[in-house]
C-alpha cells in the first residue's frame, strides 16, 4: 500500500467547510479503492460498500431516505449507535447502482455531517446508457491516474530520493540516479500492482504476469459498456491496437492497419477515452488565448500507462539499460511518458494536454505540448540534440508575441539560455524526469 499524492487532495476535501460527496474517477486498477481505504484510516468510523454486490446495491433500491440507509449500514456492519465521531462512507463501483448516484444529492442535503466518497471505473458509459447524470452542484470530482514518477520513486527508492526529486533544480550528485530510476519507471509503468510486484521481486518477468492479467481484465470488461456485440468487437480491436500507436498522431480511418472506417473507430476510441484507458490529445492552431483544441485535425493517442504499452508491444527488452529515452526506437515513448506525467499532475480536473501544429503547404511545424503559465502559452518540446534543431518551437515563439519562455525536456541538466533568431526568448532546458515539475521551474522565472 503505497502513499499516493491524491491523499493531499482528499485531506483538503475532508477539511472543507462545504464538503460535498466526492466522486473519485479513474480506470480500473489504478488504485482508487486502496487510496480510499488508506484515507479511511484517518476516520473514527469507516464503512465500505461494493455496489457490484447485489445485497449492497439493494440498500439503495428500496426507496429509503439517506438517514435510513445509514441505519441499515450500521446494522449490516454491526456499528453501534454509541460509536460516534467522524464517519467516512465509501461506495465503490457506484456505476453498478445508478440509484445510488441519484441519491448522492440527498446525502449532501440531508446528512451534511457524513463524509461520503464514491468511486467507479466505467461511470460515464454506464450512466449514459441508464440516462442518469450526477446531481449538478451536489458532488465534487477527483481523478486518479496510474502512479506518477514521484510516487514510483517513493515505492522503489524511498522518501529520501523523493526529497531529492522535489528539489528545483535537481542537485548534480543525484541527477544520474534520477535518470536511471526514470528509465525504470518507463519500463515498469505506474499501475500499482505492477509496481508492488517489482518492489517485491525486482523482476520484470514477474511484472509481466501482472500486466497480462490486467490487460485481459480490460478486454473482459468491454461487454459491460458495449451496447452490442459489433461495438464490443470494435472496442477489443482498438484497445489491442492502441499501445502500438501510443505517443503518435493517428487517423481514425484505417486505424491499426485495418480497413475500419473513421466513424466506427472514432466511436470506439472515444468510448475507451470515457473509461480512461486512452486519451485523445488534439492539437491547437492558436498562438494566443484561448488555446482551443481543433478536433478536425488528427489527435495524438495517449494510453493509460507506459508499462502496459511496453508489455503489450513486447518491447521491454529494448528499454533494459537504455541511457536516453529520446533515442527510443518507437519515437513516441517520451511523448507518451510526458503526457502521462502531465495528466497525473492534476487530480481535481481531467487535464488532457494540448499540442500545437501549423500545417501549411510551405511551412509545417509541430510542438509536442503547450502549457499555460498564468495567461501566457509555454511551448514544451521533448527533444535531444542541439538547441538549433528546435525549428517548430522557434516558429511558435515567432508567431506568439506574448510568449517569453519556452521549455525543452531532454537528457541533460537544467540549463537556462537565450534562444531564437528573429524573436529572442528564454529557453529552459529541463531534465525530462521533471516533466511534472515544469510549473515549479516557471515560478522561479
194-225 tens-digit pLDDT: 999 999 999 988 999 999 999 999 999 999 89
Strand partners, 367: 356
> Whole-angstrom distance between the N-terminal and C-terminal Cα of the chain?
37
Q: Backbone phi, then psi, for 371, in 5-degree steps?
A: -105, 165
Contact criterion met (CB below 8 Å) for 377 and 403 = yes
The string over 261-300, giving b where at least 16 C-beta atoms fall within 10 Å of a residue's C-beta and e elsewhere, is eeebbbebbebbbbbbbbbbbbbbebbeeebebeeeebbb
Flag whether pLDDT at 421 surpasses 80: no
Q: Which three cell numbers stand for residue 222?
A: 468491454
Q: Which three cell numbers stand for residue 254?
A: 484505417
At residue 444, the pLDDT reads 86
Contact criterion met (CB below 8 Å) for 405 and 374 = no
User: pLDDT, tens digit, for every residue of 301-347?
Assistant: 999 999 999 999 988 777 777 777 876 655 578 899 999 999 998 88
Helix (H) or strand (E) holding 183: helix 175-188
Q: Assign 154 a pLDDT band (cuts: 50, 70, 90).
A: very high
Helix (H) or strand (E) holding 281: strand 278-281
Among residues 424, 29, 373, the alpha carbon closest in space to that of 189 is found at: 29
Flag whether pLDDT at 388 surpasses 70: no
Average pLDDT for 412-437:
92
Flag whether pLDDT at 14 surpasses 90: yes
Q: What is the mean pLDDT of the chain?
A: 91
Among residues 13, 8, 3, 12, the alpha carbon closest in space to that of 38 is found at: 3
At residue 81, the pLDDT reads 63
Q: Pick the residue with more confidence: 139 or 348?
A: 139
Average pLDDT for 260-281:
96
Q: Pick the residue with more confidence: 40 or 134?
A: 40
Q: Assign 355 a pLDDT band (cuts: 50, 70, 90).
A: very high
- Pick the range with the lowest mean pLDDT from 67-76, 89-98, 159-168, 314-323: 314-323
User: pLDDT, tens digit, for every residue of 271-305?
Assistant: 999 999 999 999 999 888 889 999 999 999 999 99
At residue 283, the pLDDT reads 96
At residue 133, the pLDDT reads 76
Strands 87-92 and 45-50: parallel
Q: Which three cell numbers stand for residue 169?
A: 533544480
Flag whether pLDDT at 123 surpasses 60: yes
The Cα 140–Cα 423 span in angstroms is 44
* Domains located in the chain, CATH noted: 6-143 (3.40.50.300), 149-349 (no CATH), 355-443 (no CATH)
* Dihedral Cα 392, 397, 399, 400, nearest 10 deg: 140
Listed in sequence order, the DSSP H helices in 41-87 are: 54-57, 66-76
At residue 77, the pLDDT reads 81
Among residues 260, 337, 259, 330, the alpha carbon closest in space to that of 302 is found at: 337
Q: Treating both helix axes as pointing N-terminal to C-terminal, what angle do 192-201 and 204-221 enclose, rounded to 10 degrees? A: 160
Strand partners, 245: none
Question: Residue 275 carries which DSSP code?
Answer: T
The string over 51-74, giving b where at least 16 C-beta atoms fall within 10 Å of a residue's C-beta and e elsewhere, is beeeebbebbeeeeebeebbeebb
Q: Which three cell numbers stand for residue 138?
A: 451536489
At residue 328, the pLDDT reads 60
Amino acid at each position: 500500500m503505497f502513499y499516493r499524492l491524491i491523499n493531499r487532495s482528499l485531506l483538503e476535501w475532508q477539511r472543507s467547510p462545504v464538503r460535498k460527496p466526492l466522486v473519485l474517477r479513474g480506470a480500473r486498477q489504478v488504485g482508487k479503492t486502496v487510496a480510499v481505504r488508506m484515507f479511511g484510516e484517518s476516520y473514527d468510523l469507516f464503512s465500505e460498500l461494493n455496489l457490484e454486490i447485489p445485497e449492497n446495491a439493494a440498500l439503495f433500491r428500496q426507496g429509503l431516505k439517506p438517514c435510513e440507509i445509514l441505519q441499515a449500514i450500521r446494522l449490516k456492519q454491526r456499528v453501534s449507535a454509541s460509536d460516534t465521531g467522524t464517519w467516512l462512507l465509501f461506495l465503490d463501483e457506484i456505476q453498478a447502482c445508478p440509484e445510488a448516484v441519484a441519491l448522492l444529492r440527498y446525502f449532501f442535503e440531508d446528512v451534511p455531517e457524513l463524509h461520503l466518497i464514491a468511486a467507479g471505473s466505467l461511470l460515464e458509459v454506464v450512466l449514459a446508457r441508464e440516462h442518469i447524470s450526477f446531481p449538478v452542484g451536489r458532488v465534487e470530482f477527483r481523478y486518479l491516474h496510474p502512479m506518477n514518477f514521484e510516487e514510483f520513486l517513493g515505492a522503489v527508492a524511498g522518501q529520501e530520493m523523493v526529497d531529492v526529486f522535489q528539489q528545483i533544480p535537481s542537485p548534480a550528485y543525484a541527477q544520474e540516479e534520477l535518470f536511471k530510476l526514470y528509465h525504470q519507471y518507463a519500463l515498469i509503468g505506474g499501475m500499482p500492482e505492477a509496481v508492488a510486484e517489482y518492489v517485491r521481486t525486482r523482476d520484470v518477468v514477474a511484472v509481466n504476469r501482472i500486466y497480462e492479467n490486467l490487460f485481459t481484465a480490460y478486454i473482459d470488461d468491454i461487454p459491460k459498456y458495449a451496447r452490442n456485440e459489433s461495438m464490443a468487437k470494435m472496442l477489443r480491436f482498438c484497445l489491442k491496437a492502441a499501445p502500438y500507436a501510443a505517443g503518435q498522431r493517428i487517423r481514425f480511418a484505417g486505424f491499426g492497419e485495418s480497413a475500419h472506417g473513421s466513424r466506427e473507430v472514432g466511436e470506439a476510441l472515444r468510448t475507451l477515452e470515457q473509461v480512461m484507458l486512452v486519451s485523445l490529445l488534439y492539437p491547437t492552431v492558436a498562438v494566443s488565448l484561448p488555446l482551443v483544441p481543433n478536433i478536425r485535425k488528427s489527435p495524438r493517442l495517449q494510453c493509460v500507462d507506459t508499462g502496459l504499452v511496453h508489455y503489450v508491444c513486447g518491447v521491454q527488452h529494448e528499454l533494459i539499460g537504455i541511457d536516453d529515452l529520446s533515442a527510443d526506437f518507437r519515437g513516441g515513448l517520451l511523448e507518451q511518458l510526458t503526457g502521462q506525467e502531465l495528466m497525473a499532475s492534476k487530480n481535481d480536473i481531467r487535464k488532457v494536454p494540448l499540442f500545437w501544429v501549423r500545417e501549411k503547404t510551405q511551412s509545417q511545424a509541430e510542438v509536442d505540448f503547450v502549457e499555460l503559465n498564468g495567461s501566457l502559452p509555454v511551448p514544451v518540446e521533448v527533444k535531444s540534440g542541439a538547441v538549433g534543431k528546435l525549428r517548430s518551437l522557434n516558429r511558435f515563439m515567432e508567431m506568439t508575441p506574448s510568449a517569453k519562455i519556452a521549455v525543452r525536456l531532454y537528457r541533460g541538466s537544467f540549463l537556462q539560455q537565450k534562444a531564437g533568431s528573429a524573436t529572442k526568448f528564454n529557453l529552459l532546458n529541463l531534465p525530462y524526469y521533471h516533466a511534472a515539475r515544469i510549473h515549479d521551474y516557471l515560478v522561479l522565472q
